[in-house]
Structure 1
């Protein structure tokens, strides 16, 4: 694995994203996540998974600097696979916990909200949320459904339309994260929760997860070719492209 580190423990695995210091998501990383979770879904020795990042960044979201260099076919493939990754994670049958080790905006939040529990590093500087409107990326219907699943339709609607990023305290109050902890305690807390899930009979646990998420799963568009088709099309809209180029230029100068 080029962008992931896998730490296999007794009965579960820790998947650490490891692409630069901010874990920005490009196509290669998305494909690695897809293959890793597919393998772990089938592996009887892996009964649960913790997904984590690096100190200060769970994932900064999509690597817009690289994505801006993709041609039309490449961007279509990227959004297809990113949409498929979301569907794969949100339907992952085994216990799945996120250890959010810092910032998790946009694509980082997409990964986190699919999990069963989310533990986040405390600190006003860390943010999480689906701020796609603010960065001129079209959000999918599937993502609006899971945001509402965790925090309720009214609050989710307001935050999505505002393109708002939440502090850890705001995210916990909204039901988006379970607990805030010092950075060094985030991963141990996530592992503790995962081990708690593993005390249950695995079939009963899996069946219960399916029942709890039944209403969410029934609302999902499971056609990966269609999920982010709109986002791929709007990617080339001239006025959106101009805004994104300005955003990337600003970010590059700041970096």
Structure 2
């Protein structure tokens, strides 16, 4: 694996995003996570999963610099795979915790909202949220429903339209994360929480997770459909391409 690292513990596994400084999401990472979560789902020795990042960055979101250079076939394949990965993580039957080790905007938040419990590093410099509108990427119904499940429909509506990124304490207040702790305590607390989860009967835990998510998951759009078509069409529109070019150039100067 080139973009993630896997550490097996007793009864659970830690999956660490590990792609450069900011863990930007590209097609290779999506493919590796898809393979990994499939294996973890089918591994009877693994009872739970912790998804984490590296210090200061859980994930900065999509690798816009790389994606901007994709051709039509590549971008369609990426958007489809990314959407399917979100569904795979949202329907993952075993308990999953996100140890959010810093920034988690856009794509980073897409991963985080699939978890059962989220622990985030404290500090105003770290933010989390679905700010797709602000970066000119079409958001899907699946992401809106997932966001709304955790923070409520009204709050999600406001935050998505504003392209808002929540600071750690704001995210805690609105229910987007469950705990805020010092950076060095994020992963250890996630491990303690996982061990607490795994004290429960495995079948009861899995069944209860499915019941708790029933209202959310029954509305999942599993084929991409109209959402996928919209995202691709808008990606290639001259106005969006122009704005994306400016954004990419600003990133390259940093």
TM-based fold match above 0.5: yes
TM, length-normalised to structure 2 = 0.98
- The 5 A counterparts of 1:1-255 are 1-224=1-224, 227-253=227-253, 255=254
Alpha-carbon offset, residue 224 of structure 1: 4.2
Between the two proteins, the alignment pairs up a number of residues equal to: 254
Q: What residue ranges of structure 2 are gaps of 5+ in the alignment?
A: none
Alpha-carbon offset, residue 228 of structure 1: 2.8
Alignment partners' CA distance in 2, 1:51 and 1:228: 26
TM, length-normalised to structure 1 = 0.98
**Residue by residue, what CA displacement relative to the aligned partner does 1:174-229 show, whole Å, maximum 9, x if unpaired?**
10000110000000111111111111111111111111000001111011465533
Q: Detail structure 1 runs of 4+ shifted over 3 Å in the superposition.
A: 224-227
CA contact (8 A) 1:80 1:229 kept: no
Q: What residue ranges of structure 1 are gaps of 5+ in the alignment?
A: none
CA contact (8 A) 1:50 1:96 kept: yes
**Residue by residue, what CA displacement relative to the aligned partner does 1:91-120 show, whole Å, maximum 9, x if unpaired?**
000010000000000000000000000000
Alpha-carbon offset, residue 58 of structure 1: 0.1
SS at match of 2:218: helix
RMSD over aligned CA atoms reads: 0.9
Alignment partners' CA distance in 2, 1:117 and 1:93: 14
